[in-house]
Structures are given as C-alpha cells and as structure tokens.
C-alpha cells in the first residue's frame, strides 16, 4: 500500500493546499486514493475529501490506541492505490501525538512543506534541521510554498541538493489559492465557493514532481495491526445525527463504529428541517451554531421538536451541539438568540479559544460512562457556559493531557449528556455500545 505524509515545518505552511493538490493530481491520473488527517481536525479533512472525492478519516493516537489507528488505516485504505495523510501543526509538534509519530507508526515517507516567503537558502537550513532532528523519520523530500520567482526557487533547490535533500517542487504565491480562515481554523469547504480545485491541480501538476512522490510513496513496509476486541452485540436502532452548515464536526469513524453495532444513521438539519426524524436517540455534534444562530432560533418548530424529544429519548451533544441545547446563545456581535432550552444554562462567545486534549472522569453515570470511568476527547471552542459548571452540575472532571488543574464540565441529567468534549467512538467502542444500550428499551 503506497502512502505518503504531507507535513509542515509549522502551522500555516500550506499542508492542506499541498495535500489537496496531490490528491487531485493522483485522481486525475486514474488512481484510487484514500485520504487522512493526522490529529483531531475536522475542517482540513473536508478539503481532503473534496480533493480526493473520497471519505477522509482522522488518525489520532490520543483519541484511539495505536492499534486501533492502524486498524482504521488498513481497513479504509484496502483496495486503494495510494494513501495521502496530511499532518498536523509542525512535523514534530505534539510529542507522542505528533505527525512524526504517525509517520513512524505507518512507516510512511514524509514530504515537508516549507513556507519559503521571505527566505532564501535558510529554507534549506530549515529542511536540514528537520531531517537531522530525528533520522528515524524518513524525510523523503521538500515542497516549497509561497515562492516568488524562478530565481527564488532555484537558489533554495540548489541549497537543498547540496545537502542531499530532494527538491520536489514549489508552489508560487497565489492569493487565488489561499483558503480563508476563521476562529476555529479554515473556512469550511462547503462554504468556500471560491476554492478552485481545478486551478490548484493544474498549478500543482505543473510545478511539483508528482511522479517522484508516487515513487517515494512505494518505499514502505507492510502494516500488520493487532486488532483489538470490540463489542459484538448488534442493535436494531436508529440514530439521528445533526448534519448541516451549522453542525459539521463529527468523526466519520464514530458513525462507522455505531453502524458496526447495527445502528442506522439518519442525518437531519436543525437549520432547515421542521422536526426531528423518527429515531431512538440523537447526536448534536459540534460546528458553528454561533454563525447560524439567527437561523437556528427562527426555526421554532425544530426547537420545539428537540425539547419534546430530549425528555423521552437519549440526546448526546458535543461543543456547538451543547450551545444549541442551552436556553440562549449570545453570538460574537453580542446579539442573544433563543435556543432549545433543554439544559438550564446559557452560552456566549469569548475572545480566547479553549483547546487541547482532555481526559474526562464521570462524576455520575451518564449516557457514555459509569461514575468514575474516564473517557478521552479534545476541546476546541470559543464558547463559554454561564453559570460555570460545578461539581454538583457538571458531568465530568476534566484534566488536560499536557497538565494543568482539573475543572468541571458538561451537563448530565436524565437522558441528556452535553459537554465541550469531542469524542471519537472508534477509539472507545465500549462507550459507543453504552450509548447504543441507552437507545434500546431494555439495554443490557
């Protein structure tokens, strides 16, 4: 199985642009591709899906064990010609969850993307440092991004060659290929009408050695994951999953896990539908409800449908989904909008992000965990809840992976569990089964 990792020297190096250009170029050659995003990012993954015309997946050894990650990769890449994995942040950032560790686990060659704006031969020094930092990582070549001229590219290419580092090509500065950003990352692919994959593909194929990348991608060994035992009981249940412009942050692997347990996934739109679909329970995932708050508030029939269902059927909400379940939401402009009122809190937007991997220990039994059980996830949000969660009102005691004091978060009462925590069921199938149990009349 050919595979290649597109990593960056830092965030904003242009990894997503390069990975999308490569995926589209490979597909144009008639190859069947699979696409992945290292780390917990939802938005970059959607650009990869668009470019490769395939479902992209997340590979994250905090949200899932190494063996579960390898199992996911081998399962979803089976029968494909080549896998393209976009890294997260800089190549070595993140410690044991870094792109470098993903490359090591997958035995995948790495193509380093360097933002060469305002740099000459120093770009080669950056590449040399990345190669020497860990010789156990196969740094197979370099793509330059944001170059300004032929001369600019030539002097860096020569410096790379002199140090035995393969120059694979360069992408010139082109504002037409830039992807706009907003407060949680890139503008969502479904909203970015200006994203011209055809233009990017043409530019990539004319300036990057795709054939050489294909050759490098074949320099790999076979992966043999040790498949972990997963719950085997099957459930005849339907799970409604919020899915529209406002709610997009859901791991496809989570839905795969539920489907593997026998669940039928039923998408619905809190923005556009007038009532919830017929289902045994509902998931309100994260996204950008604050941007679409007015439209969500105006859809009164859906809000009423959610209020009625929440007292009778299990409802799981993550991040933006929790904001939707609150009584009111105050957006970035200070306007307040009525929401579902399922949980007795209000939400508002703050100027500083909360982000990072978390371990949540259940303060009481909830839809996923028994009291005292721990679950891993991550948070990335500008939202806040008022009043703050306490030991009495919270669902979890949360501790950051990289240290810091514990704090309380989430809401769990009756059949409702809502928190800032994003969870990937692929990494914790036992909790997916607990959720499925709650959807049946008798459970286990």
| Residue numbers annotated as active site | 319
Phi, psi of 133 (to 5 degrees): -60, -40
Of 413, 375, 378, which is closest to residue 392 (Cα–Cα)?
413
Q: Residue 128: name the closest of 116, 112, 115, 117 by CA.
A: 112
Alpha-carbon distance of 41 to 46, in angstroms, equals 10
Instruction: Tell me which residue has tokens 């830039």.
Output: 178
Exposure string (b/e) for 20-34, b if CB count within 10 Å is 16 or more? bbbbbbbbeeeeebb
**Whole-number Å distance between alpha carbons of 37 and 32:** 17
CA quadruple 321, 324, 327, 328: dihedral sign:
positive
CA–CA separation, 371 and 316 (whole Å): 17
The contacts of residue 360 (CB under 8 Å, 6+ apart) are: 369, 374, 375, 376, 377, 395, 396, 397, 398, 409, 410, 419, 421
Q: Give kind and range of the element (H or E) at residue 349.
A: strand 346-362
- Please state whether beta strands 247-249 and 286-287 pair in parallel, antiparallel, or not at all (unpaired): antiparallel
What is the token pair recorded at 90? Answer: 């800089």
Long-range contacts from 219-223, C-beta under 8 angstroms, 24+ separation: 219/109, 219/138, 219/140, 220/1, 220/2, 220/3, 220/106, 220/107, 220/108, 220/109, 221/107, 222/1, 223/1, 223/70, 223/73, 223/74, 223/106, 223/107
The answer to whether the CB of 294 falls within 8 A of the CB of 262 is no
Residue-wise burial string across 196-215, b where 16 or more C-beta atoms lie within 10 A, e elsewhere: ebeebbebbbebbbbebbbe
Is the separation of the CB atoms in 257 and 232 below 8 Å? no
In the chain, what's the furthest Cα-to-Cα distance?
71
């Amino acid at each position: 199985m050919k595979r290649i990792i597109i990593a960056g020297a830092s965030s904003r190096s242009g990894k997503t642009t390069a990975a999308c250009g490569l995926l589209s170029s490979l597909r144009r050659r008639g190859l069947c591709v699979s696409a992945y995003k290292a780390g917990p990012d939802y938005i970059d993954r959607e650009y990869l899906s668009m470019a490769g015309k395939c479902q992209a997946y997340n590979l994250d050894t905090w949200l899932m064990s190494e063996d579960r990650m390898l199992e996911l990769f081998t399962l979803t890449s089976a029968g494909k010609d080549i896998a393209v994995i976009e890294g997260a942040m800089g190549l070595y950032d993140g410690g044991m969850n870094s792109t470098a560790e993903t490359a090591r686990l997958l035995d995948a060659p790495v193509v380093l993307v360097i933002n060469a704006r305002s740099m000459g031969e120093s770009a080669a020094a950056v590449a040399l440092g990345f190669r020497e930092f860990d010789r156990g990582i196969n740094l197979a070549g370099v793509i330059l991004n944001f170059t300004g001229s032929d001369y600019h590219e030539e002097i860096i290419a020569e410096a790379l060659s002199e140090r035995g580092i393969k120059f694979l090509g360069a992408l010139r500065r082109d504002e037409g290929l830039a992807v706009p950003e907003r407060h949680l990352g890139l503008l969502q692919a479904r909203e970015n009408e200006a994203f011209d994959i055809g233009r990017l593909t043409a530019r990539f194929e004319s300036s990057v050695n795709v054939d050489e990348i294909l050759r490098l991608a074949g320099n790999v060994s076979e992966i043999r994951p040790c498949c972990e035992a997963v719950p085997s009981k099957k459930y005849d249940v339907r799970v409604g999953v919020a899915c529209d412009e406002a709610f997009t942050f859901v791991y496809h692997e989570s839905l795969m896990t539920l489907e593997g347990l026998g669940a039928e996934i039923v998408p619905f739109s809190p923005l556009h539908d007038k009532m919830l679909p017929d289902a045994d329970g509902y998931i309100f995932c994260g996204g950008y409800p604050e941007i679409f708050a007015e439209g969500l508030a105006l859809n009164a029939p859906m809000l009423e449908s959610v209020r009625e269902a929440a007292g009778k059927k299990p409802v799981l909400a993550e991040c933006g989904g929790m904001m939707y379940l609150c009584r009111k939401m105050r957006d970035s402009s200070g306007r307040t909008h009525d929401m579902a009122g399922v949980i007795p809190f209000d939400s508002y937007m703050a100027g500083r992000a909360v982000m990072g991997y978390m371990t949540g220990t259940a303060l009481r039994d909830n839809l996923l965990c028994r009291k005292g059980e721990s679950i891993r996830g991550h948070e990335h949000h500008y939202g806040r809840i008022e009043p703050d969660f306490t030991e009495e009102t919270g669902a979890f005691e949360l501790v950051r992976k990289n240290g810091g004091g514990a704090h309380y978060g989430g809401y769990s009462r009756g059949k409702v569990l809502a928190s800032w925590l994003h969870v990937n069921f692929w990494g914790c199938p036992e909790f997916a089964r607990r959720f499925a149990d709650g959807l049946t009349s008798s459970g286990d």
